Amino acid sequence: MRTFITLLIITLLGLKLYAQSWQQVSCGGEFSLALRSDSTIWSWGNNGNGQLGLGNTNSSDVPLQIGTDHVWKKVVASSFHSVLLKWDGSLWTCGLNGNGQLGIGNTQQQTSPVQVGTTLWKNIACGQAHTLAIANNGSLWGWGFNYNGQVGDSSQTDRHAPVQISTDTSWAKISGGGGHSLALKSDGSLWAWGSNGNGQMGIDSIGSSSYPVQLGNDTNWVDISAGFEFSIGVKSDGTLWSWGFNGNGQLGTGSIIQEDIPVQVGTDTDWAKVEAGSAFAFAIKADSSLWAWGYNAVGQLGDGSLLQQNSPIDVDFGYDWKCVSAAEGFVYANSVYGHHTLGIKGDGSVICGTGHNYISQLGDGTAVDHEKFYCTTGQILDIPIVSIENHESFMQVYPNPSNGTFHLKIENGSNRLGIELYNTLGELIHVDEIINDSEILLPGLAHGIYMLKIKSNEEFFTKKIIIE
């Protein structure tokens, strides 16, 4: 009986850890990117500048995988370019590059991801035509369009390759807007630079800045998001704040009055995450409910109407929202385009979308706008999992426990084996391909229990391993 219970627990763990799901979405001007739990990345929508990273300029109305690698950690979509981060810290970009926003030292458009230098990075963000990144050592860098000083290097010259912003090495979070940028330091202080014509920097001045300027003296900021000409943030006490242009109610303050310094939105103290779009915004509360406000002419708020909302409203009347992304838009002929929203909730087996869909930026196989979240994009079918415990007669992983070096042998298995290693939270932390009957090297991992997924001849097996 004890053996049966052990096998059942391992099998259930396998089903929980290895069922695929969407982990992150990012809305570009007229396209979208997404990251799956198997560390693959996908794209859809407008591809006129190669921003989908597919090696061509053909648009797609459904998600298509970028390459075949299982190595990606984070994706960020801008107006017309994409920024992609691998688990190894390398940074890759594709799409429009007229202002050097790809960071590759030139202005040539790229239809497939190309690597940005050799620096190792840990966080990425981008505005309309500029890119920001934090290196592994905590230093902050920027490149691309810099007319308003949004790169932050004390100049207004476009940068075609990464340039360091200040000499500080304590940067923690970043966000790029239409022509301004925001960043948090590890001490919780908030900084801004770039365009400030509508108070989007939050420094009580209409003057722009080409270098980071601190907003007040507070050191309790935990999340930030820069919209087209406005900004929002959350403090550690769960309060929500906003500042900048407010002609469409995007500040959520109940009015359309511009604010030049951060003002509190309502009195609630349970806000957790924020996301600013072109002229609208979203926030997720601590209970995982989703709230929205601002411009809503094409249904981008997802509340089933086309009515502008000047204060946050609960748009789903449900819970368990994991993340949300609002298109920041782009300017063409003095108008702002790009008003769609994507989110992930529940088990992450589908992506939910609302708003503009005229070029299939919602990825649901149509070109029909939605006024309410429509959860059909990229449905993932579970990969059947077979517990390794039922196959010990022909498969061995030893020694187990180990100090990080294991030997894998499969009788009558394929010559090459794909392996993936997950921690107990279900996070993918290592991907490799090895030859059967060889060593698996996993040095530098903390002591504990891990789940090893092995692919052999189109079958997937799981094995609990212990690192001492």
Distance (Å) of CA 152 to CA 99, 133, 218, 441: 15, 12, 21, 42
Mean pLDDT of 21-50: 96
Residue (of 328, 324, 30) closest to 180 by Cα position: 328
Q: Which comes out higher in pLDDT, residue 399 or 455? A: 399
2-11+384-467 belongs to CATH 2.60.40.3080: yes
Instruction: Outline where DSSP puts E strands in 180-314.
Output: 180-185, 190-194, 209-214, 221-226, 230-235, 240-244, 259-264, 271-276, 280-285, 290-294, 309-314
CATH no., domain 22-377: 2.130.10.30
Q: Using one digit for the tens of pLDDT, what is the confidence trace for 409-429?
A: 776 555 667 778 887 666 777
Of the listed ranges 193-202, 356-365, 391-400, the least confidently predicted one is 391-400
pTM of the model: 0.81
The structure tokens 């009957």 sit at 437
Give 3-state DSSP helix, strand, coil % of the chain, rounded to 5: 5, 45, 50
Residue type, 191: W
Three-class DSSP category at 140: strand
Q: How confident is the model at residue 19 (pLDDT cuts 50, 70, 90)?
A: low
Q: Using one digit for the tens of pLDDT, what is the confidence trace for 48-96?
A: 999 999 999 999 999 999 999 889 999 999 999 999 999 999 999 999 9
Domain boundaries defined on the chain? 2-11+384-467, 22-377
